[in-house]
Amino acid sequence: MKKTNTVNAVKREPLTDTMLLMTITICIFFVMYILAMVLFGGGFLHAQQIFNMLNDNASLIIVSCGLTIVMIGGGIDISVGAVTSLVVMSCVLYLNNGGNIFVSILLALGIGLAFGLVQGALISYLEIQPFIVTLAGLFFARGFTTILSINPKKVAQPAFVNLMEFRFEMDFLGYTANNGTRIPATMEIGVIVALVCVALVFVLLGFTKLGRNFYAIGGNQTSALMLGINVKATRFVSYILSGLLSGISGFVFMMHTGAGNATNAAGMEMNAIASSIIGGTLLTGGVGNVIGTFFGSLTLTTIKKIVVTSGLKDPWWQSITTGGMLCFFILLQSIVLGRRAKKKKTN
């Protein structure tokens, strides 16, 4: 009597659009960085280069997390850079007038929350276009920052200066200089804050009902309504989270620079949008992942460092390469998702 094999072959599920685009971004980042190590060597061969990228872009990563949430839900927020700037200037002035560090953190969160609440209410409940509302928020925040102070202000409070200058040292990731001195790898506190924000947003989007609702309303608002999702409330929450993360970003930005300026974080909103798109978040909504956004910001920074290392130090070359990269990733997303949709139809 023949024995029948009862074990069925397990069919692998194809990657979701979100996971596929995130995987492509991560692969491109590592390929790009390895090529930079081979072609340029120098700082790219040391772990400190990665930490420098994280130190310089911790605030951008935090803002990009908030923007990813909003974009997944089908919205946009171009006020994040201006809100970050307003938070920096407000906290600098407060600290220089004898303020407390803990209260300055609350001030940063309060400013971010206020923008999130107002903009979220106008967009979600009055159904005004997100671009118009957040553009008004951008002008308001930039204008108010200038009212606070036209001149650059440096934080002089000793307690904050000590906090700003603190570094986590990792000798095992360091390197030995030509004179034989051991130089440890160093990381700022802001990087830890940024990584915690990435982790929390990752859990929110991937493992909570609220996160699933963001994807649902971004993918198809009508279907989300039919499923019983409160679209207005969900979109409102996305802008509140974006505002809060902008507030955190402002405080981290201040810890990195130690100063406030009316032009602080200029263009940060565009870099945050670019990081999200490069990381696989679609402007149309419903697709995206904060891990992809994290690697998107690193990819953006890496290409800028490659441009500078190659001798093209003029700022416009960085803008040109950023624009070219953005076009490349948008085209790549269109091709990949178009082919997947075509394949699904044929199946």
Note the pLDDT of residue 246: 97
Note the pLDDT of residue 309: 85
143: phi then psi, degrees, rounded to nearest 5: -65, -45
Note the pLDDT of residue 343: 67
Note the pLDDT of residue 313: 75
Give a yes or no: residue 283 inside a domain: no
Residue with tokens 């955190």: 248
Give a yes or no: residue 246 inside a domain: yes
Give a yes or no: residue 252 inside a domain: yes
Note the pLDDT of residue 344: 65
Give a yes or no: residue 197 inside a domain: yes
Q: How many domains does the chain have?
A: 1
Residue among 15, 29, 16, 77 at smallest CA distance from 292? 29
Q: 111 vs 63, 198, 233, CA distance in Å?
A: 14, 21, 21
Report d(CA 287, CA 341) in Å as an integer.
14
Are the beta carbons of 85 and 142 closer than 8 angstroms? yes
Give a yes or no: residue 255 inside a domain: yes
Note the pLDDT of residue 9: 41
Give a yes or no: residue 256 inside a domain: yes
Note the pLDDT of residue 14: 60
Report d(CA 101, CA 108) in Å as an integer.
11
Q: Which long-range contacts (CB under 8 A, 24 or more apart) does 292-296 make?
A: 292/18, 292/21, 292/22, 292/25, 292/26, 293/61, 293/64, 293/65, 293/67, 293/68, 294/61, 294/64, 294/198, 295/22, 295/25, 295/26, 295/29, 296/25, 296/64
Report d(CA 108, CA 85) in Å as an integer.
11
Give a yes or no: residue 277 inside a domain: no
Q: 287 vs 22, 74, 160, 331, CA distance in Å?
A: 10, 9, 40, 15
Domain residues for the domain of 62 are 46-265
The residue ranges of the chain whose pLDDT is under 70 are: 1-15, 340-341, 343-347
Note the pLDDT of residue 337: 74
Burial of 4 (0-12, 13-18, 19+ CB in 10 A): exposed
Enter the tokens of residue 21.
Answer: 């685009």
Enter the tokens of residue 248.
Answer: 């955190």
Are the beta carbons of 194 and 61 closer than 8 angstroms? yes
> Where does 150-211 show beta strands of DSSP type E?
153-154, 167-176, 182-188
Report d(CA 44, CA 50) in Å as an integer.
8
* DSSP 8-state secondary structure symbol assigned to residue 250: H
125: phi then psi, degrees, rounded to nearest 5: -100, -30
Give a yes or no: residue 325 inside a domain: no
